Structure 1
């Protein structure tokens, strides 16, 4: 049954892709649900609320699409020509925003649906946002969780040049400083050579659950890869069924290695299979994939490293978050080329800047 669900999910997404329009991405936030539709170009948009129906008039026609939305405040969407219709189950008037393209990211129509009533306001035409991406106004700063992989009694990868726990902490602290300079609130899973728990399964679980307070915008776990002397490159993961068999070895390693790592990976794999039929969960994973893509592109551009791509796999540390969560392998510490580079503060700073810029752009923080 799980395989059948997966087949039809892939078929559905492939059909939408062939029409040039992806299903809307769904984000769950404190007080509102966010829908994001990719657009072929920047266009005008105006909305009108009538009962539980919110109609958006677009500046140009889009391919027809429709589907159920199992998310708070929403039950269905439909696109027909220049009209987008949302069936609401919450209260209050949604907020519209059109964001321009940014690098490889297409223009987007963003619809924030409040989960409680707000004072009625007249429908007004939305003007496309200026080139600088603008985040929806909020009284609280965006919060990001940064997880420096391993630490304390868990050294991670060890080579002639570097030890993983030292590199990940140094890079993570640099990311923290750069994000804080932009007004982002940062929660660190560790700020020194420590671990949350000496029980590895509990340690990984606790790190992951730090992102589950409902107010976190992103969870970033930073790691260093290992392999043969010739292995090199950067790769970034989001949670899900593995795309290829060779990544399973990495998942087992990052999940603790040995019999424990294998057991945790098996459990996570069961979770990944169960998520295939959950549309809300799939929407969250889509957000994670988008974040992973931004981070991967920035890292490769900043370092010139081999692009090993964006992939999904069953890493326990990104299993639980209800927010976009990724794990990035910033290079091979065992590589004759990348090992020495990862030992250099200047190279680590380039990596940190690339991650911070990608996260800030993703969250619409200047």
Structure 2
């Protein structure tokens, strides 16, 4: 049932890409759209730009110097970008000979930005990259540290979560999380588990959730994924993913109430978190985290639905205590309904758990630019 840099260096640069900086240029946001690739660089609040395209190199001269930065975006049409002093260069992929740049003034809480668009009839967009996805570029500034992911198998110990004639939630969550860990570690990702056995972190539910959530900000964490199994009436089925925010309008009773402890205590905690979710919209750091959390949730949800053929219940926001951390991309995923007469027995099968784990791990690796 419901219960929530990239080494943090890369995450830190990604956050900076959404902040109103006065002196630093960070790694760009990179988006693959229908017919073009877009790079968006945050700029100092006051600067100008002049660009020249020669062959496959776009050179942009800025009105003021910014710190050095370079990287290799995982996107069609572009192979590299580099910044040194006042000069920014974007290297186009073989066959690409067109690119444009323009300045966007600071607005809507975002800094002044340099937007570079590269038409891509010269390179086919990979099928694995959905249209309009946006993510931080990988970096080659020195030796990139290994990304670290926190996996949180929800419930455990004195809180088994949902239980049906077919499955017990705490068991399914842990089995899938352990399989995800294996695949991530095999592909160069450090993994921290909130639990590796059937145990709770604290007998008090709120304290238990708090200890899990704190692991998202302990050291350098690239992503936090809380894994759950849902329950409802016997007709409910499907996969859904959440990132932190107020419950969507028309969503009915907040799913997070159950995961935040249930009963009056869960109601009170969820109401308080929902209020906090509204206030975070005015915080730039929280906006950055929310943006990347949404991207991670979308990637994980799409991968799970594609791999299993399960019903899509969408990507939503809700006030989950365990994914409230304001600085780390954090999501909560519901693998399916253990209470459903078809989905419940499937969730108990080791082969289906492996399918879920592989799909989840692949989505996380893609988010981290570690796809094998």
Q: TM-score, normalised by structure 1?
A: 0.74
Q: Secondary structure at the match of 1:328?
A: strand
How far apart are 1:140 and its partner, in Å? 2.4
How far apart are 1:287 and its partner, in Å? 0.4
Residue in 2 that maps onto 1:129:
none
- Return the match for 1:61 from 100, 103, 119: 100
- Return the match for 1:175 from 157, 173, 180: 180
Residue in 2 that maps onto 1:51:
65
Contact in 2 for aligned 1:144/1:184 (Cα 8 Å): yes
How far apart are 1:337 and its partner, in Å? 1.2
Mark the CA change 1:34 to 1:196 in structure 2 (over 3 Å): closer, same or farther. Answer: farther
Distance, in Å, in 2 between the alignment partners of 1:67 and 1:148 is 41
Distance, in Å, in 1 between the alignment partners of 2:252 and 2:142 is 40
- Return the match for 2:28 from 32, 35, 60: 35
CA shift digits 1:54-85 (9 cap, x unpaired): 564664236763326989xxx53244989xxx
CA shift digits 1:117-151 (9 cap, x unpaired): xxxxxxxxxxxxxxxxx887634211000000001
CA shift digits 1:153-188 (9 cap, x unpaired): 011111110011010000000000111111110000
Mark the CA change 1:36 to 1:226 in structure 2 (over 3 Å): closer, same or farther. Answer: same
How far apart are 1:205 and its partner, in Å? 1.1
Contact in 1 for aligned 2:149/2:191 (Cα 8 Å): yes
Distance, in Å, in 1 between the alignment partners of 2:359 and 2:117 is 39
Does residue 236 (structure 1) correspond to residue 241 (structure 2)? The answer is yes
How far apart are 1:274 and its partner, in Å? 0.6
Alignment length (residue pairs): 302
Distance, in Å, in 1 between the alignment partners of 2:254 and 2:243 is 16
Mark the CA change 1:26 to 1:247 in structure 2 (over 3 Å): closer, same or farther. Answer: farther
How far apart are 1:260 and its partner, in Å? 1.1
Distance, in Å, in 1 between the alignment partners of 2:135 and 2:185 is 28
Does residue 312 (structure 1) correspond to residue 312 (structure 2)? The answer is no
Distance, in Å, in 1 between the alignment partners of 2:141 and 2:299 is 20
Residue in 1 that maps onto 2:76:
none
Equivalences for 1:67-146 in 2 at 5 Å?
Answer: 67=106, 76-79=112-115, 102-106=128-132, 138-146=143-151
Distance, in Å, in 1 between the alignment partners of 2:87 and 2:316 is 36
Mark the CA change 1:26 to 1:334 in structure 2 (over 3 Å): closer, same or farther. Answer: same
Contact in 2 for aligned 1:237/1:327 (Cα 8 Å): yes
Distance, in Å, in 1 between the alignment partners of 2:224 and 2:134 is 22
CA shift digits 1:195-243 (9 cap, x unpaired): 1111111111110110103511110000001111110000000001222
Mark the CA change 1:355 to 1:107 in structure 2 (over 3 Å): closer, same or farther. Answer: closer
How far apart are 1:247 and its partner, in Å? 5.5
Equivalences for 1:143-222 in 2 at 5 Å?
Answer: 143-222=148-227
Contact in 2 for aligned 1:295/1:355 (Cα 8 Å): yes
Question: Structure 1: which 5+ residue stretches go unaligned?
Answer: 1-24, 83-98, 113-133
Question: Structure 2: which 5+ residue stretches go unaligned?
Answer: 1-12, 18-23, 39-55, 67-84, 91-97, 119-123
- Return the match for 1:348 from 342, 345, 353: 353
Q: Secondary structure at the match of 2:213?
A: helix
Residue in 1 that maps onto 2:42:
none
Distance, in Å, in 1 between the alignment partners of 2:190 and 2:25 is 20
Mark the CA change 1:256 to 1:245 in structure 2 (over 3 Å): closer, same or farther. Answer: farther
Mark the CA change 1:322 to 1:280 in structure 2 (over 3 Å): closer, same or farther. Answer: closer
What is the CA RMSD across the aligned residues, in angstroms?
3.2
Q: TM-score, normalised by structure 2?
A: 0.73
Does residue 303 (structure 1) correspond to residue 276 (structure 2)? The answer is no
Does residue 264 (structure 1) correspond to residue 269 (structure 2)? The answer is yes
